[in-house]
Amino acid sequence: MASRDGITHAREDELFHLTIGSGVPLLALHGGPGWDHSYLRSALDPLGDVAAITYTDLPGNGRSPGPTTEREWKSLRVSDVADQIDQLRERLGITRMILFGHSFGGAVAQEYALRHPDRLYGLILVASYPAFDYAPVVLDGMLRVATEAQRAALLEAFSAPLRDDSHFRDVWQTVLRLYFSEGAARAGDDAFANSIPRAAAYNWGVQVALRDFSTLERLRELELPVLIVSGDQDRMAPLEHAALRLVRGIGGAELEVFEGAGHFPFVEQPSRWETAVRRWLSRMIGDDRGGARQDEERAG
């Protein structure tokens, strides 16, 4: 399967993935569920001079195969997705890596880190949360600023299932601007221009995955470098329900709060994003205790 860069990396029976750049391995997990990796490209591609960035579409999302029956979707857990990500890591021949997760991708990244800590240098969690137990807060916050059309779409989205991929695309395009700060409401249009919507994955997220997921009681087990990035105008992952709970649970985690940014801080404030992540990666790559530099040299 070829990427738009002309790089062929995935068979039809495994998760879609493509790798750009060189340096310390960094595996990127997109949010949703129901989205794909494409909206992450503008944020992470510029880091290809210091990291070998592998993008993947989570199971049943974007270009990746996944469950084909309702029963299979209902039996799938976030921990299962984390294990599929580890299978991808093994196929790629990566010993250790940095794991990036945005929103729901951050939930998968947390689960991965708890299950496979020895395979990671560190985590980058953006607009993510340790449990999605505050859905009424999200809905209330969005409804307060929504247009009439957005209100109708939100109520459809929060009462999934959505009918099909076309229905999901229509709903998502209607509510997308609510995920951004007021001053950057149009920023997501370009970011999601190439996205492939998957209603079945979205329905699974709302009906199964997010209801079951929680790392609240296990975060203290994470003993690795973690960068947490949050926008202070994020209606989907408000600071007090998301980033601050992660920081309180993970000892030594670093928090970067982007003032004036919503759920996609790397889209709204790309310069600040790149500066913050490069600074953190620089310490990771240059820290002999982390082992990233030695592993790179052995691989070379």
Give the tens place of pLDDT for each residue, 24-56.
999 999 999 999 999 999 999 999 999 999 999
- Residue 134 to residues 114, 161, 255, 257, Cα–Cα distance (Å): 23, 19, 21, 20
* Region for residue 5 given its phi and psi (left: phi exceeds 0; alpha: psi -120 to 50; beta: otherwise): alpha
pLDDT for 231 equals 97
Closest CA to 108 of 15, 45, 177: 15
Task: Point out which residues pair with 191 in neighbouring strands.
Answer: none
Reduced to 3 states, what is the DSSP secondary structure of residue 113? helix
Task: Give the residue with greater pLDDT, 283 vs 93.
Answer: 93
Q: Is 123 helix (H, G, I), strand (E, B) or coil?
A: strand
Alpha carbon 132 to its chain's center: 14
Q: Which pLDDT score, from 0 to 100, does residue 1 have? A: 39
Instruction: Compute the average pLDDT of residues 176-199.
Output: 87
- Which of 45-49, 272-276, 294-298 has the lowest average pLDDT? 294-298
Provide mean pLDDT across the span 231-245.
Answer: 97
Q: Is the pLDDT of residue 12 over 60?
A: no
What strand order describes the sheet that includes 254-258? 17-20, 51-56, 24-29, 97-102, 120-126, 226-231, 254-258
The dihedrals phi and psi of 298, each to the nearest 5 degrees, come to -65, -40
User: Cα–Cα distance between 174 and 64 in angstroms, integer?
Assistant: 25
pLDDT at residue number 292 = 52
| Mean pLDDT over the full length of the chain | 91
Q: Are 56 and 37 contacting, i.e. CB atoms less than 8 angstroms apart? A: yes
d(CA 283, CA 64): 33
| pLDDT for 219 beyond 50 | yes
pLDDT for 3: 39
CB 99 within 8 A of CB 128: no
Give pLDDT tens digits for 108-127.
999 999 999 999 999 999 99
Looking at residues 144-156, what average pLDDT do you find?
96
Our separate counts of H helices and E strands in the chain read 14, 7
Which residues, 6 or more positions from 105, have their beta carbon under 8 angstroms from its beta carbon?
28, 29, 30, 31, 32, 58, 128
Task: Please check the confidence at residue 272 and state whether its pLDDT lies above 80.
Answer: yes
Tokens of 220: 């203290």
User: Which residue ranges form the domains of the chain, and what is each CATH number?
Assistant: 17-133+201-299 (3.40.50.1820)
Q: Does residue 247 contact residue 239 with C-beta atoms inside 8 Å? A: no
